Structure 1
Amino acid sequence: MADDKEKPGRLSVIQMAGTELTGDNTCLTFVLHNEDHTLGNALRYMIMKNPDVEFCGYSIPHPSENKVNLRIQTKGSPAVDVFKKGLSDLTALSEHVLETFEISVQNFKAQQQEEDMDIQ
């Protein structure tokens, strides 16, 4: 039985071979555990909108694995900073969508109540 200490966290970072010595932090692969295409593609889209990003792509190593490999290559900025900005931009977008949806639901319910009152 696996020990809890052996379980990976929700995020791992893999550096390209040979870049440990040069200190190149512009090209990294982030492994998102317990995630799928939903987060992978949305995050890739948000990161690609950043003009400092040269490449961003994701893959799921195997259909039975719940992990996403997200590769980021920048034109000079640290890939970690770009990853964090992508996450915060995606969070802001998600909050905006949720807020807009909730307002629409409230407006719809208010309209339904008005129509019910008109019928009576």
Structure 2
Amino acid sequence: SMAEEGEKKAVLETVQADGADEGCVTFVMHDEDHTLGNSLRYMIMKGVDVDFCGYTITHPSESKINFRIQTRGGIPATEPLRRGLNELTDVCQHVLNTFQVDLSIFITSQLQDINVSLGS
């Protein structure tokens, strides 16, 4: 069971000074690297309510990133983060769907070629 394996660490933590503006937050993402950091930063920077978005890899031996978002207009930093993750999920799903469709078309054409060459 989970209890025996010890407590599972959170995938996402926030780092914020006491009484700090919730429009300025550093999110700590565990078991992530440039793959998520770079693409998520790209998505979030498109938001008109975002002043700054960047990330750092804490240390090469650690698989975690510090992801900082600063917003304007009193928008909490969690909003562009949620939006960015949703948009990234949609893009990945679209790429996956397109790939699967193209793959099945390719396999079908290969099978037809094999059938033709076998004279069936």
The alignment's TM-score, normalised by the length of structure 2, stands at: 0.85
- 1:53-84: CA deviations, max 9, x gaps? 11111111110111110000112221001111
1:1-120 map, 5 Å: 4-5=6-7, 8-15=9-16, 17=17, 20-21=18-19, 24-76=21-73, 77-119=75-117, 120=119
Q: Secondary structure at the match of 2:32?
A: coil
How far apart are the structure 1 equivalents of 2:33 and 2:95?
21
- 1:5-35: CA deviations, max 9, x gaps? 4x641110011x3xx43x5211110000111
Q: Secondary structure at the match of 2:13?
A: strand
Deviation at 1:36, TM superposition (A): 1.2
For these two proteins, the number of residue pairs brought into alignment is 113
The alignment's TM-score, normalised by the length of structure 1, stands at: 0.85
Q: Secondary structure at the match of 2:58?
A: coil
Amino acid of the structure 1 residue aligned with 2:90: A
Greater helix fraction, Structure 1 or Structure 2: 1
Amino acid of the structure 1 residue aligned with 2:57: I
Identity fraction in percent: 49
| Uncovered stretches (5+) of structure 2, i.e. residues with no partner | none
Question: Is the deviation greater in 90-99 or in 108-117?
Answer: 108-117
Amino acid of the structure 2 residue aligned with 1:45: Y
Query: 4+ residue runs of structure 1 moved beyond 2 angstroms?
Result: none
Amino acid of the structure 1 residue aligned with 2:34: H
Amino acid of the structure 2 residue aligned with 1:11: L
How far apart are the structure 2 equivalents of 1:30 and 1:108?
42
Amino acid of the structure 2 residue aligned with 1:102: Q
